[in-house]
């Protein structure tokens, strides 16, 4: 293995972020670049060190003796658990990154014509997976614990924990790499199968994949509903010495408690495991690393253009063409399919948790109404927010087609808005039915909330579309971002505000319901009507903003 | 829009800057109807920028652009409706199949179903894409993608064709077909402006040729006029091009490379 090659490959990977940040590097000036690329890690080390010294100083000067001894035990436990923590964090982080990248994985494929061995490629790939948040975390935590340990006299353990953290991050990176290769391999297999079915297989498998991931993820993060199961997982994990991924942590804990023979055994086991994982990566990469371009035959035979249902609904040919194109994009492009995941997760989670908590339901009106509101209103609103947000950036480099085609701003906004409305509203009956069966709300409540959902979707959708056009990001390297980070935040905040504005007239009714204090000065139907008027006004305003943003977009084709 | 225009394309004192860089410098160009015009020039000389300004994709800082009698600043969509454009890179929707993409283009230009169907089938056949039209574009070769991009420029029978390096990546047979097709369209009064690096094609197809260099139009005219301008009476376009763009010292450059 040539370490210089590996370093160069990692460097390329790091620079890939440039396109996203929009930096323009005019001069070829490596010295300066290197300083800035390592700056964030340097800052992390400095902060970690400072925090560590501060805590150590307090430990020495301010802690009474009994708290000191307590602190030492807690701190030792913390260090022993660090490798596993880092492993989980890195795993979650790199996996998420991989999912986001999956749409363009072929663009990041190994430059196979270069004199680079698969070992070198794999090593570089694992390291660059770990770059960023995981490595910054390690760069901050390691000096911190070493600094504290210098005061508490636990230096060997702290150094061991620091090394173990690196090993854990590497393990996580390697695991992600294995999954990445397999993913490319399997979707590649689906790619190569021909016929329309291939697209549906892809669609369905991506949905299942993401849903499973999000469910596991949200249970791990929030532990909603199945706290019992989580506890079981935790207890299994503590006894999971036979799971290779915790071997690094186990090694550390044996050394910490002075059981050096066991420690040595697990040290050797850990090393063997990491090496084995690495060679698994290399051999998988050697076999499947090269991306084979997909060749899906979607249709064959006579070309018979459709006469358009959309045309009858009052869409101009341009608009219905755009709508049909977007529909195909959202069912065929993996990173777009994920837009449909969140609503599904929002539907599934209450179903799951309703199995667990079926005994203690409907003690008051409060959880019922909120549960139902969450299940029915939230997915549609979020759908409107997300779709509007990236329906423009989704065009990617092909936005040029839109630029030079005779598409007016009106056509553009109308078709995108219609698409967004269609998908946000189509999930409304589904979520409402699910919500109805779980929470059994009163019919009045249900219809109020459905009406409100529609209002919110119209207003928030128009706003997010306006934001999405303004903040669109057409860079596809190294992965499609679709919207610039600052605009995604602006969108989140403004959409939240707009949603609240639409719902505002109902707030007194909600307060009355929850507290029992008579606070209402409007009948429910009056509140709904006012809320509808607010939504209509907002929709018109935001639609106009979207139009003027689109005009600007279409005349400033200088991406 | 107005159909009574004297010139198909009219650029007056057009200047386009990207920050400090002057991409197009005080350009004047007039094309009459039914003309085939070739835009030549070294890399980065401003050809693509000029073509983009015709469609209103890029707004010039100074000067005016009129295409088919329409001001490119005021109503770019009206121009886009009448014009067929093939960009430098094909910019196709890779998740569509060839046929779906062309169908999309047909709809964008408001073509009727029957017309769309017959036209698309004709072109697919002529450019030998038959049998692959049902595959996703992501699996096409570079040349196939370029063919699709060209068909989408021709599909709606535009009055003006703006082609940015149209023969890129095409096989000899297809290149020949496109060349002959352009001549055929010229008989029907279609104006073509294209940029190219293939000098033989410019020499063979174009009625007039403009040579750009650093954003300026160095020379403009038919082959005879260009020869006179370069005072190279019996030379081919290559020698004229090299002389005019000051890149004639090829020999010295090559010697430097070989060293
Ligand atoms: N979006 C942009 N931002 C900044 N500069 C640009 C942009 N587009 C073009 N330029 C610059 O404008 C100049 C002219 O570019 P243009 O694409 O018109 O050249 P060209 O003649 O088409 O070259 P080629 O033969 O390589 O296609 C170049 O120097 C280029 O760097
Ligand atoms: Mg060009």
Query: How far apart, in whole angstroms, are the C-alpha atoms of residue A422 and residue A437?
Result: 24
pLDDT of residue B64: 94
Is residue A114 over pLDDT 50? yes
- How much of chain A, in percent, has pLDDT values that exceed 70? 72
Domains of chain B: 9-257 (3.40.50.300)
Nearest Cβ partner for B97 among A298, A324, A558: A298
pLDDT of residue A543: 97
pLDDT of residue A558: 57
Radius of gyration of chain A from its Cα atoms, rounded to whole angstroms: 27
B5-10 mean pLDDT? 87
Residue A112 exposed, middle or buried by CB count within 10 Å (0-12, 13-18, 19+): exposed
pLDDT higher at A74 or A318: A318
Which residues in chain B have Cβ-Cβ distances shorter than 8 Å to A555?
Answer: 56, 59, 76
Provide the Cα torsion A414, A420, A421, A422; round to 10°.
110
DSSP B111: -
Residue A106's pLDDT band (boundaries 50, 70, 90)? very low
Asked if B134's CB is within 8 angstroms of A329's CB, the reply is: no
Q: Is B56 helix (H, G, I), strand (E, B) or coil?
A: coil
Residue length of chain A: 559
pLDDT of residue A1: 78
Is residue A211 over pLDDT 70? no
Task: List C-alpha distances in Å: A109 to A93, A291, A295, A478.
Answer: 20, 7, 18, 11
Element (H, E) at A78: helix A65-101
Is residue A217 over pLDDT 80? no
pLDDT of residue B90: 86
Asked if B80's CB is within 8 angstroms of A398's CB, the reply is: no
Residue of B134, B137, B140, B149 to mutate when probing chain A, most A C-beta within 10 A: B134
Task: Rank A15-29, A82-96, A175-189 by mean pLDDT and report only the highest.
Answer: A82-96
Across A193-205, b (16+ Cβ under 10 Å) vs e yields eeeeebbebbbee
Question: pLDDT by residue (tens digit) across A227-244?
Answer: 444 344 344 445 666 778
Q: Is A342 helix (H, G, I), strand (E, B) or coil?
A: helix
B88-96 mean pLDDT? 86
pLDDT higher at B73 or A438: B73
Question: pLDDT by residue (tens digit) across B186-216?
Answer: 999 999 999 999 888 888 899 999 999 889 9
Query: SS3 for B116-139, per residue?
Result: HHHHHHHHHHHCCCCCCCCEEHHH
Is residue B163 over pLDDT 50? yes
Is residue A278 over pLDDT 50? yes
Report the atom number in ligand 1 closest to the C-alpha of B50: 18
pLDDT of residue A313: 81
Question: DSSP secondary structure string, A243-289?
Answer: SGGGHHHHHHHHHHTT-HHHHHHHHHHHHHHHHHHHHHHHHHHHHH-
Across A210-244, b (16+ Cβ under 10 Å) vs e yields bbebbeeebbeeeeebeeeeeeeeeeeeeebeeeb
Angle between helices B142-154 and B172-187 (to 10 degrees): 10
Query: How far apart, in whole angstroms, are the C-alpha atoms of residue A279 and residue A260?
Result: 28
Query: How far apart, in whole angstroms, are the C-alpha atoms of residue A158 and residue A150?
Result: 9
Locate the domains of chain A by residue range: 3-192+228-288, 315-556
Confirm if B211 and B219 have CB atoms less than 8 A apart: yes
Asked if A400's CB is within 8 angstroms of B134's CB, the reply is: no
Is residue B135 over pLDDT 50? yes
pLDDT of residue B237: 80
pLDDT of residue B184: 93
Query: How far apart, in whole angstroms, are the C-alpha atoms of residue A145 and residue A60?
Result: 15
Q: What is the pTM assigned to this prediction?
A: 0.76
A265-270 mean pLDDT? 90
Confirm if A492 and A467 have CB atoms less than 8 A apart: no
Among candidate residues A163, A24, A191, the one with its CA nearest the CA of residue A106: A191
A74, two tokens = 């807690």
Residue B224's pLDDT band (boundaries 50, 70, 90)? confident
A65, two tokens = 């003796």
Residue A218's pLDDT band (boundaries 50, 70, 90)? low
Distance from CA of A328 to the nearest CA of B (A): 7
pLDDT higher at A177 or A95: A177
- Name the residue with the closest Cα to ligand 1, atom 31: B44
pLDDT of residue A131: 82
Confirm if A126 and A280 have CB atoms less than 8 A apart: no
Confirm if B110 and A317 have CB atoms less than 8 A apart: yes
pLDDT higher at B19 or A301: B19
Tell me which residues of chain B, numbers 48 to 107, contact chain A at a CB-CB cutoff of 8 Å: 52, 55-59, 76-78, 80-81, 85, 87, 89, 91-97, 99-100, 103-107
A408-422 mean pLDDT? 93
Range from A6-20, A162-176, B134-148 carrying the lowest mean pLDDT: A6-20
Residue of B18, B51, B71, B77 to mutate when probing chain A, most A C-beta within 10 A: B77
A356-362 mean pLDDT? 45
Asked if B80's CB is within 8 angstroms of A406's CB, the reply is: yes
By C-alpha distance, the chain B residue nearest A410 is B77
Task: Show the ligand 1 pocket: residues with CB < 6 angstroms.
Answer: A 558; B 18, 21, 23, 41, 43-49, 88
Asked if B52's CB is within 8 angstroms of A407's CB, the reply is: no
φ, ψ at A421 (rounded to 5°) = -60, -45
Confirm if A384 and A420 have CB atoms less than 8 A apart: yes
Residue A331 exposed, middle or buried by CB count within 10 Å (0-12, 13-18, 19+): middle
Query: How far apart, in whole angstroms, are the C-alpha atoms of residue A375 and residue A461?
Result: 18
Which residues in chain B have Cβ-Cβ distances shorter than 8 Å to A301?
Answer: 134
Its sign, for the CA torsion A481, A487, A492, A498, is negative
Separation of B87 CA from ligand 1 center, angstroms?
13
- How much of chain A, in percent, has pLDDT values that exceed 90? 24
Its sign, for the CA torsion B93, B94, B95, B97, is positive
Among candidate residues A470, A465, A473, A463, the one with its CA nearest the CA of residue A501: A463
Query: How far apart, in whole angstroms, are the C-alpha atoms of residue A554 and residue B78?
Result: 13
Asked if A299's CB is within 8 angstroms of B134's CB, the reply is: yes
Query: How far apart, in whole angstroms, are the C-alpha atoms of residue A110 and residue A118?
Result: 9
Residue B74 exposed, middle or buried by CB count within 10 Å (0-12, 13-18, 19+): exposed
Question: pLDDT by residue (tens digit) across A10-29?
Answer: 877 766 555 444 444 444 44
A398-403 mean pLDDT? 88
Query: How far apart, in whole angstroms, are the C-alpha atoms of residue B231 and residue B233?
Result: 6
**Pocket test residue of B15, B16, B23 for ligand 1, highest count of atoms within 8 A of CB:** B23
Range from A273-277, A323-327, A554-558 carrying the lowest mean pLDDT: A554-558
Q: Is A404 helix (H, G, I), strand (E, B) or coil?
A: helix
pLDDT of residue A111: 65
Question: pLDDT by residue (tens digit) across A30-48?
Answer: 455 566 667 888 899 999 9
- How much of chain B, in percent, has pLDDT values that exceed 70? 95
Question: pLDDT by residue (tens digit) across A295-317?
Answer: 666 666 667 776 667 777 888 88
User: Would you call the peptide bond into A419 cis, given omega within 30 degrees of 0 as the criterion?
Assistant: no
Q: Where are the beta strands (DSSP E) in A368-481?
A: 472-473
Separation of B96 CA from ligand 1 center, angstroms?
29
Residue B224 exposed, middle or buried by CB count within 10 Å (0-12, 13-18, 19+): exposed
Is residue B132 over pLDDT 90? no
Is residue A356 over pLDDT 60? no
pLDDT of residue B4: 63
Which residues in chain A have Cβ-Cβ distances shorter than 8 Å to B135?
Answer: 295-298
Report the atom number in ligand 1 closest to the C-alpha of B88: 27
Own/partner pairs for A264-269, CB < 8 Å, 24+ apart? Answer: A266/A241, A269/A244
Q: Helix, strand, coil shares of chain A as percentages rounded to 5?
A: 80, 0, 20
Residue A456's pLDDT band (boundaries 50, 70, 90)? very high
H helices, E strands: number in chain A:
22, 2
Among candidate residues B200, B217, B218, B246, the one with its CA nearest the CA of residue B50: B217
Distance from CA of B95 to the nearest CA of A (A): 6
pLDDT of residue A430: 84
Edge-first strand listing for the sheet containing B21-32: B21-32, B7-18, B62-67, B70-71
| Backbone region of residue B165 per phi and psi (left: phi > 0; alpha: psi in -120 to 50; beta: other values) | left
Q: What is the ipTM of this complex?
A: 0.81
Task: Enumerate the H helices of A102-132 as residue ranges.
Answer: 118-130
Query: How far apart, in whole angstroms, are the C-alpha atoms of residue A303 and residue A41?
Result: 57
Angle between helices A443-471 and A365-390 (to 10 degrees): 20
Residue B130's pLDDT band (boundaries 50, 70, 90)? confident
Chain centroid to CA A203: 18
Its sign, for the CA torsion B118, B123, B125, B131, is negative
Asked if A296's CB is within 8 angstroms of B139's CB, the reply is: yes
Q: From the CA of B210, which ligand is nearest?
A: 1
Separation of B88 CA from ligand 2 center, angstroms?
6
Residue of B93, B110, B111, B164 to mutate when probing chain A, most A C-beta within 10 A: B93
pLDDT higher at A478 or A5: A5
Q: Is B233 helix (H, G, I), strand (E, B) or coil?
A: coil
Among candidate residues A486, A484, A498, A495, the one with its CA nearest the CA of residue A537: A498
Among candidate residues A164, A179, A167, the one with its CA nearest the CA of residue A281: A179
pLDDT of residue A233: 39
What is chain A's mean pLDDT, rounded?
78
Question: pLDDT by residue (tens digit) across A484-530?
Answer: 888 888 999 999 999 999 999 888 888 777 777 776 677 888 889 99
């Amino acid at each position: 293995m040539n370490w210089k090659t590996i370093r160069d490959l990692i460097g390329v990977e790091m620079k890939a972020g440039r396109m996203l940040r929009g930096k323009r590097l005019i001069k070829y000036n490596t010295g300066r670049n290197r300083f800035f690329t390592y700056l964030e890690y340097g800052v992390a080390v400095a902060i970690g060190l400072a925090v560590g010294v501060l805590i150590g100083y307090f430990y020495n000067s301010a802690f009474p003796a009994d708290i000191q001894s307590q602190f030492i035990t807690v701190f030792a436990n913390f260090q022993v658990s660090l490798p596993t923590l880092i492993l989980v964090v890195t795993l979650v982080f790199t996996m998420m990154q991989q999912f986001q990248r999956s749409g363009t994985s072929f663009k990041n494929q190994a430059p196979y014509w270069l004199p680079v061995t698969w070992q070198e490629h794999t090593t570089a790939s694992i390291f660059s997976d770990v770059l960023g948040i995981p490595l910054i975390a390690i760069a901050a935590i390691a000096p911190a614990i070493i600094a504290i340990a210098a005061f508490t006299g636990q230096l060997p353990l702290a150094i061991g924990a620091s090394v173990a953290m690196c090993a854990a991050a590497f393990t996580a990176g390697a695991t992600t790499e294995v999954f990445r290769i397999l993913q490319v391999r399997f979707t590649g297999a689906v790619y190569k199968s021909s016929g329309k079915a291939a697209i549906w297989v892809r669609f369905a498998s991506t949905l299942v994949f993401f849903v499973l991931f999000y469910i596991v993820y949200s249970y791990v993060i929030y532990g909603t509903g199945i706290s019992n199961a989580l506890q079981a997982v935790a207890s299994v994990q503590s006894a999971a010495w036979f799971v290779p991924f915790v071997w690094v942590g186990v090694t550390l804990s044996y050394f910490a408690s002075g059981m050096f023979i066991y420690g040595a055994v697990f040290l050797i086991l850990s090393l063997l495991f990491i090496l084995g994982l690495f060679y698994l990566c290399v051999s998988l990469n050697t076999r499947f690393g090269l991306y084979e371009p997909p060749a899906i035959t979607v249709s064959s035979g006579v070309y018979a253009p459709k006469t358009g249902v959309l045309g009858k609904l009052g869409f101009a040919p341009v608009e219905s063409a755009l709508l049909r194109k977007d529909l195909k994009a959202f069912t065929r492009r993996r990173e777009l399919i994920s837009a449909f995941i969140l609503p599904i997760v929002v539907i599934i989670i209450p179903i799951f948790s309703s199995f667990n908590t079926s005994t203690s339901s409907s003690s008051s009106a409060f959880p019922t109404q909120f549960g139902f509101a969450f299940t029915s209103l939230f997915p549609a609103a979020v759908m409107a927010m997300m779709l509007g947000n990236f329906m423009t950036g989704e065009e990617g480099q092909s936005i040029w087609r839109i630029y030079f085609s005779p598409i007016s701003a009106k056509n553009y906004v109308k078709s995108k808005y219609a698409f967004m409305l269609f998908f946000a509203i189509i999930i409304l009956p589904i979520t409402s039915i699910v919500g109805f069966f779980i929470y059994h709300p009163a019919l009045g409540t249900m219809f109020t909330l459905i009406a409100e959902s529609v209002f919110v979707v119209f207003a928030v959708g128009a706003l997010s579309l306006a934001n999405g056009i303004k903040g669109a990001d057409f860079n596809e390297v190294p992965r499609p971002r679709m919207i610039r980070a600052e605009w995604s935040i602006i969108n989140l905040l403004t959409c939240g505000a707009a949603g609240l504005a639409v719902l505002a007239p109902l707030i007194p009714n909600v307060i009355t319901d929850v507290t029992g204090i008579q606070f209402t000065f409007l009948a429910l139907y009056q509140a709904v009507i006012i809320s509808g008027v607010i939504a209509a006004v907002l929709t018109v305003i935001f639609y106009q903003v979207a139009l003027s943003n689109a005009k600007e977009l279409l005349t400033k084709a200088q991406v | 829009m107005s159909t009574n225009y004297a010139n198909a394309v009219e650029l007056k004192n057009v200047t386009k800057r990207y920050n400090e860089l002057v991409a197009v410098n005080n350009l004047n160009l007039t094309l009459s109807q039914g003309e085939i015009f070739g835009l030549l020039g070294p890399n980065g000389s401003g050809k693509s920028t000029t073509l983009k300004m015709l469609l209103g994709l890029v707004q010039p800082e100074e000067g005016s652009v009129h295409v088919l009698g329409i001001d490119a600043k005021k109503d770019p969509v009206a121009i886009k409706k009448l014009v067929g454009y093939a960009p430098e890179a094909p910019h196709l929707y890779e998740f569509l199949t060839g046929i779906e993409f062309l169908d999309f283009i047909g709809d964008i230009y408001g073509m009727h179903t029957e017309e769309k169907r017959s036209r698309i089938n004709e072109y697919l056949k002529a450019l030998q894409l038959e049998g692959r039209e049902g595959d996703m574009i992501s699996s096409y070769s570079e040349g196939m993608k370029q063919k699709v991009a060209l068909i989408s420029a021709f599909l709606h029978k535009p009055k003006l064709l703006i082609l940015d390096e149209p023969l890129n990546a095409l096989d000899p047979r297809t290149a020949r077909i496109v060349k002959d097709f352009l001549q055929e369209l010229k008989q029907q009064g279609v104006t073509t402006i294209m940029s190219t690096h293939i000098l033989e094609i410019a020499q063979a197809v174009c009625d007039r040729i403009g040579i750009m260099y650093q954003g300026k139009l160095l020379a403009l005219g038919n082959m005879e006029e260009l020869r006179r301008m370069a005072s190279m009476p019996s030379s081919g376009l290559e020698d004229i091009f090299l002389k005019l763009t000051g890149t004639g010292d090829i020999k010295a450059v090559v010697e430097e490379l070989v060293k």
